[in-house]
Amino acid sequence: MHLSHVLPVFAGLAAAAPAAEPQLNAQTFAAGPSGNEVQILGVAFAGTGCPPNSVAGQLSSDLTTLTLLYSSFVAESGKGKGSSDSRKNCQLNVKLKYPSGWQFSVFKADYRGYAQIPSGDTGTCKATYYFSGDSKQACFVSHPLFSNKSY
């Protein structure tokens, strides 16, 4: 199995939703914070699927959408490959700026890649989301990969 070039697009990652705070009025809730108040300030990454200098990022001009390209995210299995070759991960830490009294969520994640899977074998592409300081997973997505199918 060969899985490479995974492209997640975090569109609207910093989309804010209101959380009750006394000094905010109904009009503020309806309008939401402006693009200048909600921003992606930076991204850090680490893991077996993203060694140093292997992730390139592009931040949208309004600082609300992040596109990442992985040049070395390759998982392989088969003859001569060890268990560490078949499981790869990359943890992203996204630094956000948003106004007090508001919260954020992952609005959309788009994954694109290539999988070459021999007949009879399967693979899995899995994403787990969580927020710093919270011990619970916010979201878990698993997508099975099968031989003789394009992704």
Q: Where are the beta strands (DSSP E) in 47-121?
A: 55-59, 66-70, 75-76, 91-97, 102-105, 108-110, 114-116
Residue 26 lies in a domain: yes
Query: Would you say residue 123 lies in a domain?
Result: no
What single string gives the DSSP state of each residue in 29-77? HHH---TTTSEEEEEEEESTTS-TT-EEEEE-TTS--EEEEESS--EE-
The reply to whether 71 falls in a domain is yes
Whether residue 93 lies inside any domain: the answer is: yes
Measure the CA–CA gap between 69 and 150, rounded to whole angstroms. 20
**What is the span of the domain harbouring residue 67?**
2-115
Number of domains in the chain: 1
87 lies in a domain?
A: yes
CA gap 28, 100 in Å, rounded: 13
Do the domain assignments include residue 104?
yes
Q: What is the pLDDT of residues 109-151, one digit of tens each?
A: 888 888 888 888 888 888 888 877 777 877 778 888 877 666 6
pTM (two decimals) = 0.65
CA dist., res. 40 & res. 52, Å (int): 21
For residues 47 and 14, which has the higher predicted lDDT (pLDDT)?
47
Give me the pLDDT at residue 95, please: 86
CA distance 17 to 70: 30
Q: Is residue 143 included in any domain, yes or no?
A: no
Is residue 144, in this structure, part of any structural domain at all? no
Residue 92 has pLDDT above 80, yes or no: yes
